[in-house]
Amino acid sequence: MYYHHKQMKFVEYGRVGPAPIDTYDKWDLRMYEWLGHHCGFSPQVWLSRSRSSITGIRRQRILKKQKYVSGARRFVKEGRDSVLFGFDIIKGFPVSYDHWEGLMHYLMNEDNFDVQNKNIVNEMNDIIEEYRKENLPLDGEIVDWVASGCDLDNYLKNYVFKEVDQIVVPSLNLKSAKQIICRNEKQKKVLRKMGFIEDRIKIRNIKKCQ
């Protein structure tokens, strides 16, 4: 199952795109524009494969672990009014969650594509040097960086843009969802009125979604 979460105010019975540009901060846009150079569209609609917890549906809990977050209270409020959509088969551009999370820090502070790429290479190589100075074994995504020959193109092809647990698409047809998980009867009533099939709408505790 491929999962995508949407704020109720952006839910439509049909095809939807990414959230409006003015809902993103400049750091997010820089990351998505970098990715757009590779997938061909920006910003993107994100879906997770099998892991609904990484869609952002439980963002109010994840926020506590993030060091740099703007408008935290707004995001918490929005998270409480979100709906989770599940799809059987979606073809999209693959992005490995863990590798993407590692790259984000090197992309958000620059808006130039070439500079962003240089940042990735320099930062990853600097981390290797630090590990070696401390005589520590390499771990995490650094192991994959070394296995790619410390070459950005190889790293992206073999590790980052590989379907493990995440894909991106330019738009998404919500009415084709096979599973719709909402938080309460009020949301269910709104979704039913839009035209979504009642048998596919389930009220569930979002915190318990995998």
In this predicted structure, what is the pLDDT of residue 59? 53
pTM of the entire structure? Answer: 0.84
Instruction: Give me the pLDDT at residue 72, please.
Output: 39
Q: Measured between alpha carbons, how far is 29 from 180 in angstroms, rounded to an integer?
A: 28
Ranges of the chain with pLDDT below 70 = 58-80, 206-210
Q: CA-CA distance, 149 to 156, in Å (whole number)? A: 12
Instruction: Tell me which residue has tokens 């150079």.
Output: 37
pLDDT value at residue 92:
96
> Looking at the chain, how many residues does it have?
210
Residue type at 126 in one-letter notation: D
> Which pLDDT tens digit goes with each residue over 67-79?
444 443 444 444 5
Interior CA angle at 30 toward 177 and 71, to 5°? 75
The full set of domain ranges for the chain reads 2-95+164-204, 97-160
- Give the ranges where the chain is alpha helix by DSSP (H): 26-39, 59-62, 72-79, 97-107, 113-133, 141-147, 152-155, 185-194
Give the per-residue pLDDT at 34: 98
